[in-house]
Amino acid sequence: MRAAHNPARLVLAAFSSLIAVGTLLLRLPIAADGEHPGLLASLFMSTSASTVTGLATFDISALSLTGELVVLALIQIGGFGIMALGSILAIIASHRMGLRQRMLTTAELGSIDDKDLKSIMKRVGQITVSVEGLLAVVLFIRFTVSYGETPGRAAYSAVFHAVSAFNNAGISLNSDSLIPYASDWIVLLAMSAGFIIGGLGFPVIVDIARKVRGEEGSGYRPGRLNVSRWMLHTKLVVATTGVLLVLGPLVIAIAEWRNPDTLGPMATGGKILTAWFEGGTARTAGFSSIDVGALGEPTQVFMSTLMFVGAGPASTSGGIKVTTFAVLGFVIWAEARGQRDVNAFGRRLPRRLIRQAITVALLSVGLVISTALVLMAAADISLTPALFEAASAFGTVGLSTGITGDLPPACQVLLVLVMLAGRIGPVTFVTALALRNVDLPYRFPEERPIIG
């Protein structure tokens, strides 16, 4: 079977090769600053960077400048690759759609042919360079003016953090993530803007950009932002992201407001800023401006849920994706109201899509719970940190309560597999489902079992 007809093999081979090369490079003597972390640690770091997760079994300060540049390259290639591959696979799937669906897709996205593959790569590159470049400039100015860093160090740190933010990698040059900038509104808002944009996904960014510019076939006059003309995918991603960006910080602020180890000692402004940042980073990015291990248990469970949901499809994030979460929400809403069809923003959702969303969600729940149970049994840890670590690996978030480095080797290998599955699993699985449309020549008699 050709790779184009087997997206799982295509993406798995690409990321496995990237991880293998990264592991070999991190094993080089020049990649370490002193004692080398070891093979498993190198594999873990390579996987974490390539899948833009951020979990690590050792402090990044153990790497030399060469090792840090390897990690930076893995982040950039891994993030760029998943955006491009995700979009390309969506086009491949569209070739297998019916005529009506393809006509609708063409009207929304423009022509779909082989020439679009080159255009996609070009657009992804332009978006990546533009966002990362702007973010790096803001951080460079802040690091030099407010923190007295030398221009060389400030430039390197700004570029590293900009790439890590846009690609939702959660890897920082600081051993304590972004805690040194906990009260810095400019740094934290700039970083959050980077990972929020990266988490929207390439299809959403391009859809909005094309229609604002009034490109041919977009149905817009230049400069107008008519939300009603956005494609349904864009509406779902933006609306659900907006809801989660309000709900996440709000719940964290309420739960941690008086916690003496997190928000408690801060001024009101600092509490709001930290709650906002933690609520946003938990969905996808993995940076932290406070000690995650000091969070209350209810907050950690809630953040595990955010990590499980993730961000937008064909983005630099993991999780089941906000569209899957939104579709399930509309299914519940339609069922509660006794409606035959599931509708969203004036459009009827296909039953096949609903089945795909349910399948992805249930398989993902099973993977996270199974991983948590194995961690509990093998590492002798309680449910909450085990669930948190499993959700972080699957959602390619990278937040941790501090137990990653202390896990047994077998558990670390398990997390490597979960990070890889969380990164490539949803996009390849959904695409594979879209490519498989088997119509049996018969139908069984219908019978309804008792539900509930």
447 within a domain of the structure (yes/no): no
Start-end of H helices in 113-184: 115-147, 151-166
3-state secondary structure of 318: coil
Q: In the chain, which stretches have pLDDT less than 50? A: 1-4, 97-114, 216, 218
Boundaries of domain holding 239? 3-435
Helices (H), 310-435: 322-336, 351-379, 383-394, 409-435
Check if the beta carbon of residue 45 is closer than 8 Å to that of residue 58.
Answer: yes
Residue 189 main-chain phi, psi, to 5 deg: -70, -35
Instruction: Please indicate, yes or no, if residue 262 is contained in any of the structural domains.
Output: yes
**Under DSSP, is residue 232 helix (H, G, I), strand (E, B) or coil?**
helix
Under 8 Å between Cβ of 211 and 231: no
Residue type, 172: S
pLDDT tens, 349-387?
A: 998 889 888 988 998 999 999 999 999 999 999 999 999
Q: How far is CA 368 from CA 283, 308, 364, 417, in A?
A: 15, 8, 6, 12
Q: For residue 76, give both structure tokens.
A: 């950039």
* pLDDT confidence of residue 108: 40
Per-residue pLDDT reduced to its tens digit, 236-256: 999 999 999 999 999 999 999
Domain count, the chain: 1
For residue 208, being part of any structural domain is answered with: yes
Looking at residue 89, its pLDDT comes to: 59
pLDDT of residue 11: 73
Give the whole-angstrom CA distance, residue 432 versus residue 5.
Answer: 8
Task: Return the pLDDT at 226.
Answer: 67
pLDDT given at position 28: 92
Which residues are CB-contacts of 423 (< 8 A; sequence separation ≥ 6)?
Answer: 15, 51, 52, 53, 78, 82, 318, 396
Tokens of 142: 């802040």
Q: Does residue 223 fall inside a structural domain?
A: yes
Q: pTM for the full model?
A: 0.86
Distance of CA 452 to the CA centre of its chain: 34
In this structure, which amino acid lies at residue 169? A
How far from chain centre, in Å, is Cα 262?
25
Burial class (CB in 10 A: 0-12, 13-18, 19+), 203: buried
Q: Report d(CA 124, CA 109) in Å as an integer.
A: 15
Q: Which residues contact 349 (CB under 8 A, 6 or more apart)?
A: 327, 330, 341, 342, 343
Angstrom distance (rounded) from CA 185 to CA 92: 42
Residue 129 included in any domain: yes
Say if 450 falls within a structural domain: no
**Dihedral of the alpha carbons of 330, 331, 334, 336, in degrees to the nearest 10:** -110
Locate 396 and state its tokens. 């390619």
Do 327 and 353 meet the contact criterion of CB atoms below 8 Å apart? yes
